Structures are given as C-alpha cells and as structure tokens.
Structure 1
Amino acid sequence: MMKEIELSRAVTEEAARCLLCYDAPCAAACPLGRAPDHLVRSLVLGNPLGAIQQELSGACPADCARHCMKACLRAKIDLPIRLSFLRKSLREAAQGTSITTMTAKEAAS
C-alpha cells in the first residue's frame, strides 16, 4: 500500500489561484508541448497523484525559460501561478512513493 500523499497548504493555495483558463495560454506558450494546465487542474480538483504522475512523466528541463509563467493570465491580476514551485513540491512529495507500481484500485482508495 502506498503512503498518503500530503501536499503543503502553500501548494494547494497556489494551485487554487489558477483561473482555469479555457484555452490555457500557459500550455500554448510551452515550446516543449507540456501541459501545465493539466497539472494545476489535478491539484485544484484534489488529485495530487495525477499531478505527480504528470510531473514525473514530463518534467521541465533545468534550463527552461518558463514561457508558461510568462503567459499566465493570473499575472494581469497580481502574480502568475508559480509553476516551478508546484513542480518542485510535487517531486518532493513523490520521493519514497511507489507511484509507478500503484494500481487504479489503490489510487481510488
């Protein structure tokens, strides 16, 4: 059985700031074709396992220019969603968690 995935309050609050744009400009701006909007939606909808799986399957390279954060519409209100912070937090939460061997039944429980 897998350990419970616990994310900090800061992670859930940061994800909740997302405007959940229909045509997510963050995804459109990514030159690598990543979908940061899917990762954030998973967090907003209470699916940290889905967010972690997305992060581990397509992590951004270290030299990423963060086009997604530059395109974030939330920046017109205050600050863009801190996707780098969310991704780092998800990688830390995944440490010691056997996500790749988890079954769908275990994920549902």
Structure 2
Amino acid sequence: MKKAVNFEKDLLEAYEKGELVSTSPSKKEKEKFKAAAQATFLKDRRVNIRLSSPDLMDIQARALEEGVPYQTLIASVLHKFVSGRLVEKPSRLTSRSTRTAKKQASG
C-alpha cells in the first residue's frame, strides 16, 4: 500500500511542478478510436450458450471484480479472442494421452 501512496505523491508533485504534459489525440486518432468503440459496442445478435455452474459463478465473480456486468465480460473476452488480442498462456498441465505415451515409451 505504501508504494501506491508514494507513487501518488510523486505524481502530485510532478503535476504541481508542471512536469506532466497533457496530450490530445489527433483528429485522425480520435476518428480511429471512435470507429473502434462503435464496432466493439455494436451488439445486434443474440447468442445462447450453456455453461457449468462453477464456470458461470467464476465469470460472475470476475465481472464483479472488474465492475462490469458478467454478460459484458463474456462479450469482451470473445471479442478479444476473435480479434487476436486474447493470448492463451501455455498450460503447465499435460494431457492424459501425453502422460500415457511417455509411460509407455519409458516402460
């Protein structure tokens, strides 16, 4: 917690000294951001999916942490996935078939 307080103090001091400079996006950048926002929030189709109760509860808990409705969180995750911005971390677990093959090869 102290790090955050110190960081905030440093920001305030920099602001008061005039060291922070406000930058505004160009007109072209504003149009680009506007188009991206409109495309992101355009919801013209309904989809029904079935989820396990534990998965839905986890999604709802995560949405609560993020301060967004859970359906919005689901839509955001799907949008990031299809746009290539959702990066999957490699699993530390091995599949059963991989373990079985390793056992057979060593045995």
The two structures share one fold, judged by TM-score above 0.5: no
Q: Which has the higher contact order (CA 8 A, sep 6+)?
A: 1
Structure of larger gyration radius: 2
TM range (shorter): under 0.3
**What is the TM-score when the length of structure 2 is the normalising length?**
0.26
Larger helix share, 1 or 2 = 2
